[in-house]
Structure 1
Amino acid sequence: MSFGRLESTAAPKPMSEINMTPLVDVMLVLVVIFIITAPLLASSIKLDLPKTEASAVDAAPKFVTVVVDKAGQSFLNDKALTLAELAAQLAQAARLNPDLELQLRADSAVPYGRIVELMGSAQKAGLNRIGFVTDPKPAAAPGAKP
């Protein structure tokens, strides 16, 4: 005597396809592990760097501002100077920092010749980087002709 069903049923067929879900899960876990550990491996060299008294390097470029008003008077750091005094001050600044930039702020009424004199003095002093500071134009109203 046997226990169970009287009729026999066919056994289920084996799966012929690979289940991709566990494979994708394992791959995602490996990707996360590599993402987390990669930066740690890049900085694995431990160094004891020497100390120095030098100041830290500034990433921002240094500049000096020269202002010229409507009357043609030159100002350096809000101090009125003649062209000769300005040239001497710029030469001294250029000796201290050869990469110094001159930012020129001039009134729109200043004659072009005065600007050229200032640029020539700056170049003689050793300042070859000259920038012109301007104000942006106000946005035109819609429908207005330029």
Structure 2
Amino acid sequence: MAISSHDAFSASGGGRRRRRRGGRRGALSEINVTPLVDVMLVLLIVFMISAPLLTVGVPVELPKTEAGSMQDQSEPLTVSIRADGSLFVQEEPVAFAGLSPRLRAMAGDTTKPIYVRADGRASYSAVAQVMAALSTSGFSSINLITDTGGPSSGGTPASDKPAG
């Protein structure tokens, strides 16, 4: 039995072409994602630019640590300590004597977390006094805010130690 060049498996379909019903094209069911990607990239750029501007307005240089970031909560109470020792609750300056009463009035209850943002050049005694005042006022959730990317607490490899 000989096989001809016009069998059923050839590209030409045996010399006859089949037409779809009515000769119409089928409906295009694909989604064009190019506009979606363009909009998402614009939104990403806008949020990347605006995110650093949404932090609390008291400028302090946070110390660097290796600790990771915490889960964000809605509008936490923030105490900021500048390098010169001046105190701020949220963005308003406050005297050390008025720190506890103002925080108690703002928090309502003492279970709300308090975030302490201290400048890296602020004295240890100023930070310790603020944290002690918060603790004696009944606040049990006191958190220190730091910047990430600081030195590791692990031992240094032998190749990094200075020769001597």
Q: TM-score, normalised by structure 2?
A: 0.44
**Higher Cα radius of gyration:** 1
Higher relative contact order (CA 8 A, sep 6+): 2
